[in-house]
Amino acid sequence: MPQQDHKSVRTAGSASSRPGRELLSRGRIARRVAELGDQIAARYDRGELTVLVVLSGAVIFAADLVRRLTVPVRLEFADLHSYPGCSTRSQGIQAGARLPQSLGGRDVLVVDDILDSGQTLGWLLEQVGRQGPRSLSACVLLRKDRADLRRRVEADWVGFDIEDLFVVGYGLDYDNLYRNLGGVHVLEPGQREGAP
């Protein structure tokens, strides 16, 4: 069913127009996030869980996901920047990344918005692993089909596999815009003013 808030979404346009076609509706995401939450809750059914949220793209996903969990959850945040400004391919982890240093001995679940090249998740799992967590796993909302590379890292839970498109909404941004869209939308090349 078409949703009111997507009425003005167009399929093409200038950089100033709204993003293009909806890839995943708000309702579809909600159903999948609930499923993921229930699977993760079944895996961590005792003790407590530390959820490490990758800023800023994963905050909306993580907010919905953690509310499906039944064990006590500690929320921690990893402040990384791999897509500065108008980039649409990862530029590697930028200097100044900030991580909590209290993850030793904990059951840690890393939550990120999207697995693209895998640089972000690979780096983060390595850093957290050095702190000696009791267990370490990862959940991403989206995973891009990148036929051009072999990732050296995988996520334990994946919401949706998508084509190699640049997407925004439900937390994902372009130049820090569009995170508030309820669904996930494709940002066409013509709408990415300033992209390298």
State the CB neighbour count (10 A cutoff) for residue 178: 20
The one segment of 10-18, 101-109, 128-136, 160-168 that binds ligand IMP by CB under 6 A:
160-168
Say whether residue 57 binds ligand IMP (CB under 6 A).
Answer: yes
Cβ closer to ligand IMP: 76 or 113?
A: 113
Total residues belonging to the chain = 196
Is residue 62 at the binding interface for ligand IMP, with CB under 6 A as the rule? no
Output 33 or 167, the one with its CB closest to ligand IMP.
167
Name the residues that contact Mg ion, by CB under 5 A: 57
Among 50, 116, 143, 183, binds ligand IMP (CB under 6 A): 116
Binding-residue pattern over the window 63 to 102 for ligand IMP, x denoting contact by CB under 6 A: -------------------xx------x------------
Catalytic residue, chosen from 79, 116, 145, 161, is: 116
Told to judge if 116 belongs to the known catalytic residues of this protein, a careful annotator would answer yes
On the 0-12 / 13-18 / 19+ scale of CB atoms within 10 A, 62 is: buried
114 binds, options Mg ion, ligand IMP, none, Cβ within 5 to 8 A by partner type? ligand IMP
Smallest distance, Mg ion to C-beta of residue 45, A? 29
10 vs 18, 88, 166, 190, CA distance in Å? 7, 20, 16, 12
Per CB under 6 A, which region of 12-20, 29-37, 39-47, 118-126 contacts ligand IMP? 118-126
Residues of this chain that interact with ligand IMP (CB under 6 A) are: 54, 57, 82-83, 90, 112-120, 166-168, 172-173
Report the catalytic residues: 116
